[in-house]
Structure 1
């Protein structure tokens, strides 16, 4: 298995109750698809993409392109860049956990893209505490996070030595079963006999084994790369002229303070605290404590 990317994609903090855990976000997956570039057969020059008016076939300059949303067939509402920019969600640099649920409650169809989270600064101990608590309870955190001007629903999952932030699809992005002609649920309702069920379960048991992802490889990619290697070895290659390209929040991580104190305060408040309040508490615990004593 490939190692995790060391490049930091995002810095922020996990927030639940009054607790802040400074973390960095790293890619957990990588694309391994074969990249087929378009080339002109006559000259072996790279073939690019153009902005084309679909009615006239003419190329359009970037400054003449606007963005529109279709509301009826052929009818659009045009939005300016400023209007679109104003609708972007505010980037808070926090992974705000709203609730904890059983891991089995979230269907796999909602999982979209995983990222690794690593602790920053003095956050290692509280990072480990959250990881171990999630493993012990069998829960995952359901959170909201803003990345690249887009708000995401996410699941915070303890996996082995680390925490994984798995972006989730929103409910309205999941299609319903309703339009599919599916058999009724349950053996009896589906017309299955006890003997058929027994044989099917027996076959599944006999074919069962341990999950080892290295046992499965993409055959198409292996065949293409083997073909490429054979052509390189046979000196069946082409030179392509390199085309030069045209010129064209806040920091993450609050200081970790007395963890026991923050957990006690969070429990007294029922686990709910606005992110801004939590951030202030994490930054100035002594001042807050002195006010309470007064």
Structure 2
């Protein structure tokens, strides 16, 4: 797996060289865009209207539009020059309790893997954080963006989570009123949750739609027709108590089957 970013975790005077690796793999089916008539792939070209020609990647530079139609050009060398030593490290600013970081701020995850020789310092940080159930709040520059980070300890290593800044979080689009609930409604909801509660096992879940999509693609290749897999109509249950009661009965039956 290719390294996404390299740097050193800076904790006071302690430096821990690490590489950041993506934590996820894209297994989804991706479609290409084709011309309806020829069935040939649609191509997107980088084109300069002024030069009337296609532009190669090596001939593309970064420009910031400070006025309409006016750009200031920034080279990669100039962008590197404005980075401080601190920008080139994953410098820890403070520590916080795990529970204090709201999940809405999490953006992307990376595995932090120590470079050769940094394993002991890495393990020291991991164990110290995990024993106190704390995370490290840090910053680093990745590309042209200063990223706010959380160094999150696990039993196997450290996950680096990039965070959104406060001004990047959109406000709730609509205030949801706090409705008054009947005690029996709440009790039934709690029972339903209890019946459906079991240990979370990630391996127990698969992308079922992708599996059906692969099967449908295979059928199309074989010249077969795609048949609807679900022809049932919408549920007519609209009463909250009735819906809870039916859900509870269904979950109770499944719970008994699972316990058998």
Equivalent residues of 2:107, 2:161 under 8 A apart? yes
1:220 aligns with 2:214: no
Gaps in structure 2 of 5+ consecutive residues? 225-260
Give the Cα separation in 2 of the matches to 1:83 and 1:77: 19
Matched residue count: 216
For the pair 1:90 / 2:83, whether they are aligned, the reply is yes
1:195 to 176, 184, 187: 184
Name the counterpart of 2:12.
17
- Aligned residue among 194, 197, 205 for 1:205: 194
> Shift of the alpha carbon at 1:200?
1.8
- How far 1:36 sits from its partner (Å)? 0.8
Shift of the 61–132 alpha-carbon distance from structure 1 to 2, 3 Å rule, reads same
The match for 1:79 among 65, 71, 77 is 71
Question: In structure 2, how many angstroms separate the alpha carbons of the residues matched to 1:24 and 1:64?
Answer: 28
| Conserved? CA contact 1:99–1:143, under 8 Å | yes
What residue ranges of structure 1 are gaps of 5+ in the alignment? 185-189, 237-294
| Contact 2:45-2:54 at 8 Å conserved across structures | no
Q: How far apart are residue 78 of structure 1 and its match? A: 3.6
Structure-2 separation of matches of 1:153 and 1:77: 33
Structure 1 residue 228 displacement after superposition: 2.4
Q: How does 1:245-284 map to 2 (within 5 A)?
A: none
Cα distance in structure 2, aligned partners of 1:66 and 1:99: 34
Q: Which TM-score applies when normalising by structure 2?
A: 0.71
The secondary structure found in structure 2 opposite 1:81 is strand
Q: Which runs of 4+ in 1 moved over 6 A?
A: 63-66
Structure 2 CA distance, aligned partners of 1:100 and 1:182? Answer: 33
> Separation in 2 of the partners of 1:116 and 1:36?
29
Give the TM-score of the pair, scaled to structure 1.
0.64
Query: RMSD of the alignment, in Å?
Result: 3.1
Is 1:123–2:118 an aligned residue pair?
A: yes
Match for residue 277 of structure 1?
Answer: none
Structure 1 residues 52-67: aligned runs within 5 Å: 62=55
Partners of 1:29 and 1:82 in 2: how far apart?
32
Q: Given the superposition, is the C-alpha separation of residues 76 and 86 from structure 1 closer, same or farther in structure 2, using an over 3 Å criterion?
A: farther
Asked if 1:160 is matched to 2:158, the reply is no
Report the equivalent of 1:278.
none
Alignment partner of 2:74: what SS?
helix
